[in-house]
Amino acid sequence: MKENLVHSRTCVYNLNYHVVWSVKHRNKVLTPEIEVEMQSLVQEIAGEKGFIVHLFEVGERDHVHCFISAPPKISVSYMVKMLKGITARKLFIKYPELKKSLWKGVLWNHNYYVESIGSVSEENIRLYIEKQTNSY
pLDDT of 5 over the 70 cut: no
Cα distance between the two ends of the chain = 31
Alpha-carbon distance values, 59 to 20, 122, 129 (Å): 10, 19, 9
Instruction: Answer yes or no: pTM beyond 0.85.
Output: no
Residues with catalytic annotation? 128
Task: Give yes or no for residue 51 having a pLDDT over 90.
Answer: yes
pLDDT of the residue at 103: 84
Q: What is the CATH number of domain 2-130?
A: 3.30.70.1290
| pLDDT tens digits for range 20-31 | 999 999 999 999
The Cα–Cα gap between 41 and 39 comes to 6
Strand ranges inside 60-107, DSSP E: 63-70
The confidence score (pLDDT) of residue 41 equals 98
Whole-angstrom CA distances from 68 to 103, 126, 136 are 29, 11, 25
